[in-house]
Amino acid sequence: MTDHALLDAAPVPASVLGRGTATLQNAFAGLLEQPADGLLGLIALHRADPRPEKIDLGVGVFRNDAGATPVMRAVKEAEEILLGSQDTKSYLGAEGDVAYAELLAEIALGRALAGSERIVGVQTPGGTGALRLGAELLARARPQASVWIGNPTWPNHAPIFAEAGLSVKTHRFYDVARATIDFDGMVHDLAQAAPGDILLLHGCCHNPTGAALSNEEWQAIASLCADRGLIAFVDLAYQGLGDGLEEDAQATRMLFEALPAVILAYSCDKNFGLYRERVGALWVQAPGTQVAATVRGNMLSLARGIWSMPPDHGAAVVRTILEHPELRADWARELDEMRHRINLLRQTVAAQDSRLGFIARQRGMFAMLPVDGVAVAAMRRDNGIYMAGNGRINIAGLTAQNVPLFVAGLAPHI
Ligand code: PMP
């Protein structure tokens, strides 16, 4: 009888008892239950709330004045071009779309740095993929190193580095009560960092606080990295949504110019509105061209072991936009419009209550309110205002019409 005939003939057993059955029954016993994602829970609560005046400041996506997260005009046009011209879905390789990474490097790093032979880059699935690939690279290169992250930071930072096997340490960053960066506290804590440790920095539009280091403070960070031998790892996920495309990249470029070893994890998911397409890139500056080639080989071999190769569509859209001058100009224009909306909302909120003046001084989609979990729950219950439990709000979730309602709901709690 052939194997095939045997399979056809045998009745499918309800369970097969063997010496390993007990082991198999405990196959997943080592797993602990995981807490549900707080922001996803918030979406469900907001959806179920029947009040028409409810305000969703939870999830971190850009919204227009109608509360929508539209596909950008240039993205729609690029997708049409791709639909008409793409003639294969064959594999691209672990580095992804090479032209995408080259064109994007000019946006992120500027033309001079983008041409450097000491800088190597690959496409990644989103900024998250870039952070993870960078973390894996560091775990290979410096398994004993610690990664220093600020308090607070994007909640995914610590798990991304920890899952890669690096130890994560926290430095002071932001004083919520005073609504300012605690730069002295940051520098004081980083005195504990060992040579070869990694310092994670938000290139612009800090998530969750919106607080930005001054030029002098960025210079001091560069000196600190140079003096103490810290590897700067920049997370740039909101270029163009703070002060402008060029302005938002200044700190990153300065670090690349000042330091021999720097890492940049980049996301196109906000500034091209491509969230679900997962578009990112990782660049590493090595001290020399030979090391750069070794770094690149390791980035590719690590990528092959994690996702093999990144998804194509979103990066192909970004490449198409950057290849066509008129699409590129329209993308930059729409990004300007998005940024102006956010910054106008910041000013409108600040003008309503002098205690909220800090919101106008900060940049990007987020701000952190000086409120506790009790106040967050009360605003949800009494005013239909939804925000993360730590008081982080997505400014773009506001509209010109609902700012007074928001400030009135918040006022008793600050
Ligand atoms: N870094 C920061 C600071 C972010 O806020 C985000 C997205 N919320 C990312 C990285 C990851 O972006 P992506 O969606 O491209 O993975």
Q: What is the CATH number of the domain that holds 142?
A: 3.40.640.10
d(CA 6, ligand 1 centre) in Å: 52
Instruction: Specify the pLDDT at position 36.
Output: 86
Q: How many angstroms separate the CA atoms of 271 and 33, rounded?
A: 35
Q: Which of 290, 323, 356 is the last residue of a domain?
A: 323
Q: Whose CA is nearest to atom 7 of ligand 1?
A: 237
Model pTM score: 0.95
Closest by Cα among 174, 169, 200, 203 to 186: 174
C-beta of residue 208 within 8 angstroms of C-beta of residue 366 = yes
Quick one: 166 and 259 in the same domain?
yes
Across 176-259, where does the E strand assignment appear? 180-181, 198-202, 231-236
33 phi/psi in degrees, rounded to 5: -65, 145
Domain boundary among 302, 323, 344: 323
* Pair (139, 256) in one structural domain: yes
**Active-site residue identified among 237, 281, 303, 316:** 237
Number of compact structural domains in the chain: 2
Residue 332 and residue 312 share a domain? no
pLDDT of residue 17: 81
The Cα 364–Cα 205 span in angstroms is 4
Dump strand ranges (E) for 156-228. Answer: 167-172, 174-175, 180-181, 198-202
Residue 219 lies in a domain: yes
Statement to judge: residues 254 and 270 lie in one domain: yes
Which of 39, 69, 128 best tests ligand 1's pocket when mutated (most atoms within 8 Å of CB)?
128
Res 187: pLDDT: 98
Ligand 1: does its nearest atom lie under 6 Å from the Cβ of 235? yes
Residues 279, 318 contacting (CB under 8 angstroms): yes
Quick check: helix, strand or coil at residue 42? helix
d(CA 316, CA 14): 48
Set 135, 222, 270, 283: catalytic member: 270
370 CA to centre of own chain: 23
The crossing angle, in degrees rounded to 10, of helices 325-352 and 73-85 is 150
* Known catalytic membership, residue 169: no
Distance 264 CA to ligand 1 centre (A): 13
9 catalytically annotated: no
User: What does the pLDDT read at residue 11?
Assistant: 63
Question: What kind and span of H or E run contains 392?
Answer: strand 392-394
Q: Is residue 315 part of a domain?
A: yes
Domain membership of residue 151 as a residue range: 91-323
237 Cα: distance to centroid of ligand 1 (angstroms): 6
**Which tokens sit at 275?**
């969230």
Catalytic residue among 56, 189, 197, 235: 235
**Domain end marker among 274, 301, 323:** 323
State whether 263 and 117 are in the same domain.
Answer: yes
Task: Let me know: does 276 contact 126? Beta carbons within 8 Å.
Answer: no
Q: Is any atom of ligand 1 closer than 6 Å to the C-beta of 310?
A: no
243 assigned to active site: no
Q: Contacts for 105-109 with beta carbons within 8 Å, 24 or more apart?
A: 105/281, 105/283, 107/239, 107/245, 107/249, 107/322, 108/236, 108/239, 108/249, 108/252, 108/264, 108/266, 108/281, 108/283, 109/249, 109/252, 109/253, 109/256, 109/264, 109/283
Closest CA to 386 of 48, 35, 36: 48
CA-wise closest residue to 133 among 164, 156, 106 = 164
Residue 174, burial from CB neighbour count under 10 angstroms (0-12, 13-18, 19+): buried
Same domain for 338 and 274: no
Pairing relationship of beta strands 231-236 and 262-267 according to DSSP bridges: parallel
C-beta 123 within 6 A of ligand 1: no
Task: Using the mean position of ligand 1's atoms as its centre, give its distance from the Cα of residue 400 in Å.
Answer: 26
For 57, list phi and psi in degrees, rounded to 5: -115, 20
Is the domain of 101 the same as that of 210? Answer: yes
Res 16: pLDDT: 76
353 flagged as catalytic: no
Confidence at residue 97, expressed as pLDDT on a 0 to 100 scale? 97
Residues 384 and 273 in one domain: no
Instruction: State which ligand 1 atom lies nearest to the alpha carbon of 154.
Output: 3
Alpha-carbon distance values, 366 to 57, 60, 178, 391 (Å): 9, 8, 17, 10
Q: CA-CA distance, 288 to 118, in Å (whole number)?
A: 6
Residues 346 and 275 in one domain: no
- Best residue among 62, 269, 271, 363 to mutate for probing ligand 1's pocket (most ligand atoms within 8 Å of CB) is 269
Instruction: For residue 28, tell me if it sits in a domain.
Output: no
CATH assignment of the domain containing 349: 3.90.1150.10
Q: Residue 1 has what pLDDT?
A: 45
Is 303 found in the same domain as 183? yes
pLDDT in tens, the chain (414 residues): 445 555 555 665 666 788 999 999 999 999 999 988 888 889 999 999 999 999 999 999 999 999 999 999 999 999 999 999 999 999 999 999 999 999 999 999 999 999 999 999 999 999 999 999 999 999 999 999 999 999 999 999 999 999 999 999 999 999 999 999 999 999 999 999 999 999 999 999 999 999 999 999 999 999 999 999 999 999 999 999 999 999 999 999 999 999 999 999 999 999 999 999 999 999 999 999 999 999 999 999 999 999 999 999 999 999 999 999 999 999 999 999 999 999 999 999 999 999 999 999 999 999 999 999 999 999 999 999 999 999 999 999 999 999 999 999 999 999
Q: Is the domain of 258 the same as that of 191?
A: yes
